[in-house]
Structure 1
Amino acid sequence: MSTLSARQLVIDIPERGDGTPLDFSIQPGQIWGVLGPNGAGKTTLLHTLAGLKSPRSGFVELNDLGFAQLRRKQIAREIAVVFQERQDGFPATVLETVLIGRHPYMAPWDVETAEDLALARDALKRTALSALEDRLVSTLSGGERQRLALATALCQQPTIWLADEPGNHLDLRHQVQAMNLFASEAESGRAVLLCLHDLNLAARWCTHILLLYPDGRACWGESNKMLERSALETLYQQPLAETTVDGRRYFVPATGAVND
């Protein structure tokens, strides 16, 4: 399995200072949650880690190699990216769309094999979309499209997942199913990084947390050390109340003022 590392990485956000250089590794079996308010740079970080955006300084390594040393197809076989929003490029069915996940393994003009179809249908089954495989993507709801994005990434068989707000458009049951999918992938030795707004999804499922502040500051570590009420109140400028359920901490908005 693979490791993705940020090495003295400063993401490039216009009109913002350099902030804290990021230096961490996402190891197999870990689930990282990236938390921060709007504009803190969560999506920019994810795109930079995926090699889709250049950093201001520093670099990203995949298995100790910089992206410049790797072919795009090599990177695509290792890293799957689930974007927050997506647009339909052309009319396609659900099955045709999930098969896009096999493209990193195919030569130009290749036709999908029986094994590719089996992987695609298994991905649809794991995301509860099997009954929709012949539907046009344009007819799907927002939540169904989000699950299709997860199925497409599953079909890619990545060793590293990067997902931006993967619970977007999903109802509570499907949010839990999506997070359980990431947990299953981590248990199988994959590495997972999720940009999240929901503190309680992070508290329930993430092994590590990265806090991004709007001014560029950042800190990271194991979840039990990072998910402290005072730190989260400062991060979001929002008072919180804390409770414990089954030994895990959860947070809800509270009234009052935040002490900086």
Structure 2
Amino acid sequence: MVTVTIENLSADLGPKAGRRGVLHGISATLRPGELTGVIGPNGAGKSTLIRAILGLTPVSQGSVGIDGRAVAQMQPRELARVLSYLPQGQALHWPLSVERLVALGRLPGLGPMSRLAEADLAAIHDAMQRADVLHLTGRTATELSGGERARVMLARALAVGAPGLIADEPLASLDPGHQIDVMELLAAEARAGATVVTVLHDLTMAARYCQRLLLIDRGALVAQGSPAEVLTGERLRTVYGVTGRIDLTGAAPMVVPLERVRG
């Protein structure tokens, strides 16, 4: 189990990126056993926050710690054993078989020149089963559909066996059935004690599956808490610029955008 602490975090991507001050003073705690959703409009800074947590984006102020240890002091391989990462995009350039691609998730735990042991092979099989890609065994990953590729990349992240999992827009390219499967899987990882964080655009999925939400707008954390605390009609208007129908009272919460706010 790991606890991730974000304290007064700011990030500046610099002039080469054409953007300054992407994140502004964000503080939050990501706890074991919780599925935390990071939500907000396009360009709000959600992916930058994820990358800052993982030490992939320079921090201009504040810090990120894992169980009291600064991420900035951790080696990449060590950090990868603690937080597995599913980036958005799923770009593949090498014609690896599906099982070999998933097996890459075991690399952080292997020593130099080490070979996969029985425990590694079992972890790979288990990850593929949980991500519903066992039937793709033997296929070439670059020949898969977008949805198949997304699930294989999720299996690779699961194969790490890390106590924390960060997934950036894992529902992209998936049909509704597999979107539900992925959210059920992330929720199950959290129930098993993992610290799970995911970037989402689907507010209904966020309300249904996440115990905690971080709402980011223009690089600032404008709200955090339970879905009922964060997803209000006023915030839909001020953050997303839409009106919506919100029902968080039943067993199947729903947030349905209705129309743009004009004027």
Answer whether TM exceeds 0.5 for this pair. yes
Structure 2 residue 166 is matched with structure 1 residue 177: no
1:138 is matched with 142
Q: Residues 133, 19 of structure 1: CA spacing in aligned structure 2 closer, same or farther, 3 A cutoff?
A: closer
Match of 2:194 among 171, 190, 195: 190
2:125 is matched with 121
Distance 2:248 2:68 in 1: 39
Q: Residues 173, 119 of structure 1: CA spacing in aligned structure 2 closer, same or farther, 3 A cutoff?
A: same
Post-superposition CA distance 1:55-89 (Å, at most 9, x none): 22111101110123322222111101111113224
1:88 is matched with 92
1:8 is matched with 8
The runs of 4+ residues in structure 1 deviating greater than 6 Å are none
Q: Secondary structure at the match of 2:124?
A: helix
How many residue pairs match? The answer is 259
TM-score (norm 1): 0.93
* Correspondence list, 1:69-108, <5 A: 69-108=73-112
Which has the higher mean CA deviation after the structures are superposed, 16-25 or 61-70?
Answer: 16-25
Q: Residues 188, 258 of structure 1: CA spacing in aligned structure 2 closer, same or farther, 3 A cutoff?
A: farther
Q: Residues 56, 240 of structure 1: CA spacing in aligned structure 2 closer, same or farther, 3 A cutoff?
A: same
Q: Percent sequence identity over matched residues?
A: 33
2:37 maps to amino acid:
G
In the alignment, structure 1 segments of 5+ residues that lack a partner are none
Q: Residues 179, 19 of structure 1: CA spacing in aligned structure 2 closer, same or farther, 3 A cutoff?
A: closer
Distance 1:229 1:249 in 2: 14
Q: Secondary structure at the match of 2:242?
A: coil
In the alignment, structure 2 segments of 5+ residues that lack a partner are none
2:200 maps to amino acid:
L
Contact 1:17/1:216 (CA < 8 Å) preserved in 2?
A: no
Post-superposition CA distance 1:181-237 (Å, at most 9, x none): 011100110011111110001000011111111263532122221111211221101
Distance 2:41 2:248 in 1: 24
1:12 maps to amino acid:
D
Q: 1:238, CA displacement in angstroms?
A: 1.0
2:6 maps to amino acid:
A
* Correspondence list, 1:1-260, <5 A: 1-14=1-14, 15-17=19-21, 20-214=24-218, 216=220, 218-244=222-248, 246-255=250-259, 257=261
Superposition RMSD on alpha carbons, in Å? 1.8
